[in-house]
Structure 1
Amino acid sequence: MSETITESRPAAGDATGSSSAGGWPALVWWNPVSWPVRILAPLGYWVSTRLIMIMTVFQTHENSNGEVHRLYQAWAQILRHGSYPIGDPTWQYPPGAAGVILAPLAVPGVNYVQGFVVVTLVADLVVMGALLRYGSRPERSLAGAWVWLLTLPLMTYIPYARYDVIVSLFAVLALLWLQRRPWLGGGMAALGAMIKVWPAFAVFGAPRGRSLRSAALGFVASAVALVVIAMALFKGSFDFLNGQGNRGVEFESLPGSILLLAHQFGYQGSIAYRYGSLEIVGPHVETIGKAMLVLSVVGFCWLLLWRLRARTFSDATPADAALAVVLVFITTSRVISPQYLIWVAGIGAVCLSFKSTTQRPIVGLLVLATAMTTVEFPLFWQDVIAGKPGFDALLAARNLILLVATVWSCARLWRATVTRGSRRGLSK
C-alpha cells in the first residue's frame, strides 16, 4: 500500500514566502511600511499583553519570580563554574538546559531575574514572528499566531517565570522547518530535546522517505554534538536522571487530582514537597505511580502503531502528530505542571497555521484548559492545596478536559492518516 503525501507550496516567484493571492498584498518583511493590518494588529496586541505579563512577574506576590530567583539563579552560579547541580534532586533537566540557565547572565546591565525575562521575551517574539510569517503564506492561516498571542496571557506571569517558552521556540521552529528543510527541523528538535525531552516529538510525524531520513540525521547529529559539548564543558551531565527516577505522583496530575477528590471522602493522604514538586503522600500512591508508567508505555505503543500504519500525510500531519504525542505524554505523566500548557500552546499554534489540520477543536479545548489552570495556579493555589472541594473539582475538571483532548486528538489523527489512507488504497 503506497503512502500519500499531500502538500501545499507557495506560488512560484514569491521570494518572501508571502501570499499575494486572494487579494492579500505581498509582504516585504524587512519593510514595516508594507505590513497590512492583519500583521500590525497581532503585533500591537503582543506589545500590550506582554507589557502586562512583565509587570506581573515583578509584582510582590512571592511566587511570581521565586523559581527564577531561588532555583535558576542558584543553578547558574554552579554551572558557571563548570558543573551541573550534582546531587540536587530539583535538577531534572537534560544537559542542554545549562545554556538556558546561563543565558540571563549574558544580558548586560540587569540582574538575573530581569535578564531571564529579557531572554524569554525575545523567545516569545521570535515564536510570534515565525508564526506570523508562516501563516501569511498560501494555504496557511494566521489562526496559529493568534492562538499563541491569546493563550500565553491567560497564564499571567507563568510564561516569563519558567523557561518553557524558550523550549517551545525550538519545537515551533522544528515543526515549521520540517517540511522544507527537514535536516534543520531535526536539528531544532534536538536542541529543544536537550533542554527538555518533549521537543523530540516534533519529528515523530515526519513523512516517510527522504524527509524522515534527513530529519533523523539532523536530529541525531545535533544531539550527539550537544552531548559532547556538554560533557566537555560541565561535570555531571547525566546526573539529572537520578532525580527523574524518584519522582512520585504530583497532585496536579490526573491521578493526583483524583486522590485530592478522594480526600473529601476519607482518603488518608497529604501533600508534601519532594523532588521539586508537591506530591501526594499516602496509601496506594506508589502503585498508582507505577500504573501511570504502564499507561505511558501503552500510549507510546499506540503511537508507534500509528506511525507504522499511517499512509496519508498532509503538510499538517507532523504538527498534528506532535500535539497528539505531547498530550499522551502529559496525561499519562505522574506530574502536570502549569507550564506544560505552554508546550501545547506552541504546538497547537503550529497546527492551526495549516488549513488542513485535524486538531482545530482540540486546540480550542486546550485554550479552555489553560484558563482553568490559571484559576488553580496561581490565582487560588492555597485553596487547592488546602483541599477546598470546589477548587479540587476544578482541577479534576481541567484534567478531564486534557484527557478528552488527548483521546480526541489521537482519534482524529488516526482517521485522517490511517483510515483515509486505507480507503484510498482499497479504491485503487
Structure 2
Amino acid sequence: MTRRLVRAVPPAAAWLLTRGFMLWVLTHSGPAALGNGRVAHEVWGLYHHWAHVLAHGAFPAHDTLWQYPPGAGLVMLAPAALPGLTYLQAFVVLTLLADATVAFALARSGAREGGSRLGFWYWTCGLPLLLHLPLARYDVLVTAFAVLALLALPRFPRVGGALAALGALVKVWPVLVLLGTAKGRATRSAWTWAAGVGAVTFALLALVFRNSLSFLGNQGGRGVQIESLGGTLLGLARHAGWHGRVRYQYGAMEYVGPHVTAVADASLALTGVAFAGLLLWRLRARRRTAATSCDAALAAVLLFTVTSRVLSPQYLIWLLGLSAACLTARHTVQRPVTVLIALAAVASIVVYPVLYRDVILGTTTGAVLMLVRNGLLVTAAVWSFVRLWRATRPAPDPAPVPDTRRSPDRALTSAS
C-alpha cells in the first residue's frame, strides 16, 4: 500500500500543478491576449441565464443560442447544488471534478496488464494546452462520459453503453464511441443498454421540462462558423475577392454572403460521406485489438468534427480525451495522430482567444492560423481513418510455399 501511494505522488502532483496553472490563467484572463475575460462570460453570463430559465421547468425554446440536447440542462443546473459559491466558482469546481475523474480512470486503465500510463500523462499535460478554456466550457464533463464509456466497454459493455447514452443526451457526439465495439454479444449489449438508458432518461427529462426538442430547430439553422473547415475556405476566398462578411449569430461568428449556403451544404454532404466510410469500415473490419474501440471512436469524432459547419476551439477537448483513451492501450495505431491533435490544440488557443480579432477581420495572419489549425485536423482525420482501416482489415493469406522435394518416381527417372 505504501509503495502504491509513493507511485501515485508524481501523477497527482502533475495534475495539481497543471490545474493550478489553468486556474491562475482563468483568474488573470483580463489582458486582450487572454480574451479580456470573455472566455468565462459564457459560464456566468449564458449558462447562468439558462439555469434560471430551467429552474422554472422549461428549456429556453425561443433562445437561438440553445442548441443542446435536454441532458445539457442538468449540467446548467448542477452548480446550484454547491452552496456558498458563485455560479462560475461552482461550475469550475464541477469541471475539475470531472477532469480528475477522467485522469483517475486513465491512470487505472493504463496500470492494467497490457495498458500504458501514457494516456494519463497525455490528458494531464495536454488539456492545459488550451489554457483556461476547458474550465469555462462544459465539454470536459461531456468528454468524461465518452472516455469512461470507452474504458468500460471491453469489460462492461452494458455500463459503457449506458454512459455513452448519458453523454449523448448532453452533447450527442459521445454516441460515436460505440462504433468500434466488438461484433456480436458486446455490440448488442452496449447498444441495447444505450437505447434503453437514453430513452428512459429522455422521457424523464421531457416530463420534468417543457420544450425538450426545441434545440433541434436552433441547431438546424446554424451557418458556417469562421473556425470551421468551410469557414477557412471562405476566409481564403476573401483574399481572392469574395465579398462576404462576418456576423454574430447562433452563438458564433459566422460567414454570410454569396455561396455560404453552398459551403454549408457541402459540409453536410462531407459528413454523410464520412458516415458512409465509417459504416463501410464497420462492415469490413475483421481483426481487432484491445485498442480498436478507442481507435475507432477517435477516427469517427475526428471525421465528424472536421466536416462540421462548426469547429469551436473547445472541440479539441473531445479529441484530447479520446486521444488519451487510445494511448492507454499499447496496441493503439493512433499515436502519430495524437501528436497532430496536440499541435492543433496549441494552434486553437492561438486562434481563440489570443488572435481571434485577426480571424474575424480576415487578416493574412488570421487566414494562415486557420489554415494551419484546420490543416492539422484534416490531416489527423484522414490519417486516423487510414490507420484504423489498415489495422483491422483481414490478414492476407500466406503465399503457398513450393514443394522442392523430388518425388521418388522423378528421382528414378533421373537416375536412369
| 3, 7, 19: which one aligns with 1:50 | 19
1:139 counterpart = 2:114: yes
Runs ≥4 in structure 1, deviation > 4 angstroms?
A: 424-427
| 184, 205, 208: which one aligns with 1:230 | 205
Alpha-carbon distance in 1 for matches of 2:398, 2:142: 39
1:34 counterpart = 2:4: yes
Pairs within 5 Å for 1:174-213: 174-213=149-188
Q: Which residue of 2 aligns with 1:6?
A: none
In the superposition, the TM-score normalised over structure 2's length comes to: 0.92
Alpha-carbon distance in 2 for matches of 1:425, 1:170: 42
| 87, 91, 99: which one aligns with 1:116 | 91
- One-letter code aligned to 1:423: P
Structure 1 position 422, deviation (Å): 4.4
Alpha-carbon distance in 2 for matches of 1:426, 1:371: 47
Alpha-carbon distance in 2 for matches of 1:180, 1:424: 31
- One-letter code aligned to 1:66: H
Post-superposition CA distance 1:325-354 (Å, at most 9, x none): 001110110000000000011110000000
Aligned residues with identical type, % of pairs: 45
Structure 1 position 218, deviation (Å): 1.4
Pairs within 5 Å for 1:218-297: 218-297=193-272
| 96, 99, 106: which one aligns with 2:71 | 96
Alpha-carbon distance in 2 for matches of 1:426, 1:72: 62
* 1:112–1:345 distance in 2 versus 1, CA, 3 Å: same
Q: Which residue of 2 aligns with 1:87?
A: 62
* 1:349–1:426 distance in 2 versus 1, CA, 3 Å: farther
1:390 counterpart = 2:360: no
1:377 counterpart = 2:346: no
* 1:279–1:179 distance in 2 versus 1, CA, 3 Å: same
- One-letter code aligned to 1:286: T
Post-superposition CA distance 1:130-165 (Å, at most 9, x none): 111111111100111111011110101110000000
Q: Which residue of 1 aligns with 2:309?
A: 334
Aligned pairs, how many?
394
Q: Which residue of 2 aligns with 1:156?
A: 131
Alpha-carbon distance in 1 for matches of 2:43, 2:257: 30
Alpha-carbon distance in 2 for matches of 1:119, 1:332: 31
Q: Is the 8 A contact 1:58 1:65 kept in 2?
A: no
- One-letter code aligned to 1:386: L
Alpha-carbon distance in 2 for matches of 1:424, 1:129: 42
Q: Which residue of 1 aligns with 2:385?
A: 410
Structure 1 position 62, deviation (Å): 2.6
Alpha-carbon distance in 2 for matches of 1:210, 1:347: 24
Q: Is the 8 A contact 1:58 1:64 kept in 2?
A: no
Q: Which residue of 2 aligns with 1:298?
A: 273
In structure 2, the residue corresponding to 1:133 is in which secondary structure?
helix
Moved more, 59-68 or 407-416: 59-68
Structure 1 position 262, deviation (Å): 1.8
Structure 1 position 267, deviation (Å): 1.4
Structure 1 position 275, deviation (Å): 0.8
Post-superposition CA distance 1:232-272 (Å, at most 9, x none): 11000000001111111000001101211221222111110
| 49, 55, 68: which one aligns with 1:74 | 49
Q: Which residue of 1 aligns with 2:396?
A: 423
In structure 1, the residue corresponding to 2:127 is in which secondary structure?
helix
In structure 1, the residue corresponding to 2:69 is in which secondary structure?
coil
Alpha-carbon distance in 1 for matches of 2:366, 2:257: 21
Q: Which residue of 2 aligns with 1:14?
A: none
* 1:389–1:285 distance in 2 versus 1, CA, 3 Å: same
* 1:132–1:187 distance in 2 versus 1, CA, 3 Å: same
Q: Is the 8 A contact 1:255 1:288 kept in 2?
A: yes
- One-letter code aligned to 2:189: S
Q: Which residue of 1 aligns with 2:331?
A: 356
- One-letter code aligned to 1:201: L
In structure 1, the residue corresponding to 2:308 is in which secondary structure?
coil
Structure 1 position 424, deviation (Å): 5.7
* 1:426–1:278 distance in 2 versus 1, CA, 3 Å: farther
Q: Which residue of 1 aligns with 2:340?
A: 365
Alpha-carbon distance in 2 for matches of 1:251, 1:147: 29
Alpha-carbon distance in 1 for matches of 2:204, 2:397: 47
User: Tell me, which stretches of 5 or more residues in structure 2 are unaligned?
Assistant: 31-35, 401-416
* 1:426–1:271 distance in 2 versus 1, CA, 3 Å: farther
- One-letter code aligned to 1:163: Y
Structure 1 position 35, deviation (Å): 2.6
User: Tell me, which stretches of 5 or more residues in structure 1 are unaligned?
Assistant: 1-27
Q: Is the 8 A contact 2:71 2:169 kept in 1?
A: yes
In structure 2, the residue corresponding to 1:35 is in which secondary structure?
helix
- One-letter code aligned to 2:119: G
- One-letter code aligned to 2:45: R
Structure 1 position 392, deviation (Å): 1.6
In the superposition, the TM-score normalised over structure 1's length comes to: 0.90
